[in-house]
Amino acid sequence: MDKRDYYDVLGVPKNASPDSLKNAFRKLAREHHPDVSELPDAEERFKEINEAFGVLSDDEKRAAYDRYGHAGVNGTGGFPDFTVNFSDIFEELFNFGGARRRGRRNTPRRGANLRYNISLDFEEAVFGVEKEIEFSRDEVCEHCDGTGAEPGTSKSKCPTCKGAGEVRQVRQTLFGNMVQVATCPTCRGEGETIETACTVCRGRGVELKNIKKLVEIPGGVDNGNQIRLNGEGQPGENGGPPGNLYLSITVRRHKFFKRKPNSDDILLDIDVNIAQATLGAEVEVPTVDGQALLKLPAGIQPGKVLRMRGKGFPHIRGKGRGDQLVIINVKIPKRLSPEQRELFEGLAESLGSEVSPQESGFFDRLRDFLGG
């Protein structure tokens, strides 16, 4: 396919000034850069725009093009032989210039967040507890006062980047010499090097220390909850604020109690005998507050749930507490004394042998209750 006229590509007249060429290139490059444009032919158009500007922005190549056309800038019939440094223009267009990068280097940055896993007994999760935790974080080095340099020595301008904090590498591409900017490997972007590193922190300016802290865990927390301790994370950089410390809660299993999923209620399964279930009774059951009396109504059925008000977890975002839900299981004896067998045989004879099918069973009702 025949190449388009370079002036038509940039949309400028043949007598366009260098500033007009640069302005046209800026506008078109911003519209057709493959990283920002959604046009289907953006990549091809971008190559064409770069090629046109590479020729017309060079006085010698432009004069050859004006006299001989494309043949005047093609060495062997292949790609045009031109070199141009686009770095200044691309820095303006896409904001990755050195001055901007140097500004970012000194911008205050928040420190990293830390995480600490903490395990609680069931009762501690119910009522809350004060715990001492120990964790590690960076602290400003006391020996060098955070400078990273051994006391009595100083920092000097980086010899590699001359204080810029970055190095530039020229890479030859299809579009000419492209300038690639990278963080200086010598000073790691600081622009300064340390003559003699601090013997304690080895030039880091901070040293790792063990921190002990008393923390208050509120009542009502659950597995997977996180508690944020503001400002207890890693120190910030360049005067930035410190990060946060997040306590990740794990609640150990209890021998009897369970927490109802997504609720502040406590679940407790108890066994009662047939006589208690049939005749009704007042029984003593455990709660997180201690033993408490629970009244069983006569004729209570297996799977029935009785509610003990205010015996659950505290509402962590409000007042009051959840309930304790007691799930009744009627225990069938496996062995009977002769007297007990005689009584049951008489009871069986009086009750008859008829059976009644049910639409749903005990486990179905229990699953519905638990929301499973």
Q: Which DSSP string do the residues of 63-108 spell out, in sequence order?
A: HHHHHHGGGGTBSSSSSB------HHHHHHHHS--HHHHHHHHTS-
Phi and psi dihedrals of 126, rounded to 5?
A: -70, -50
The span from the CA of 219 to the CA of 126, in Å, is 5
Q: Is residue 338 part of a domain?
A: yes
- Could you tell me if 282 and 346 lie in one domain? yes
- Could you tell me if 235 and 335 lie in one domain? no
Last residue of a domain, one of 253, 273, 290: 253
Most confident of the following: 87-101, 109-123, 337-351 = 109-123
Write down the pTM of the prediction: 0.60
Q: What is the pLDDT of residue 82?
A: 45
- Could you tell me if 356 and 266 lie in one domain? yes
Q: Where is average pLDDT lowest: 83-87, 126-130, 190-194? A: 83-87
For the chain, where are the alpha helices, taking DSSP H only?
6-10, 18-32, 42-56, 59-68, 87-94, 98-105, 122-127, 274-279, 338-351, 362-370
- Could you tell me if 269 and 357 lie in one domain? yes
Say if residue 192's pLDDT is above 50.
yes
- Could you tell me if 40 and 115 lie in one domain? no
Q: Where is average pLDDT lowest: 18-27, 195-204, 323-332, 351-360? A: 351-360
* Tally of structural domains, the chain: 3
Better-predicted residue by pLDDT, 64 or 221: 221
- Could you tell me if 270 and 345 lie in one domain? yes
Q: Is residue 319 part of a domain?
A: yes
Q: Is residue 169 part of a domain?
A: no
- Could you tell me if 217 and 342 lie in one domain? no
Say if residue 61's pLDDT is above 50.
yes
> CA 170: distance to chain centroid?
37
Better-predicted residue by pLDDT, 346 or 223: 223
Q: What is the mean pLDDT of residues 179-204?
A: 84
Better-predicted residue by pLDDT, 286 or 31: 286
- Round the average pLDDT of the chain to a whole number and report it: 84
Give SS3 for 358: coil
Say if residue 79's pLDDT is above 90.
no
- Amino acid in the structure at residue 297: P
- Could you tell me if 262 and 342 lie in one domain? yes
- Could you tell me if 332 and 290 lie in one domain? yes
Q: What is the pLDDT of residue 29?
A: 84
Most confident of the following: 84-88, 103-107, 233-237 = 233-237
Q: Is residue 335 part of a domain?
A: yes
Which range marks the domain in which residue 61 is found? 6-83
Q: What is the mean pLDDT of residues 70-92?
A: 54
Q: What is the pLDDT of residue 116?
A: 95
Which are the contacts of 66, defined by CB distance < 8 A and separation ≥ 6?
14
Better-predicted residue by pLDDT, 119 or 180: 119
Q: What is the pLDDT of residue 170?
A: 72
Say if residue 300's pLDDT is above 50.
yes
- Could you tell me if 139 and 21 lie in one domain? no
> CA 265: distance to chain centroid?
30
**Residue 121 sits in a domain of what CATH number?**
2.60.260.20
Instruction: Give pLDDT tens digits for 353-372.
Output: 776 676 665 566 666 666 65
pLDDT band at 46 (very low <50, low <70, confident <90, very high): confident
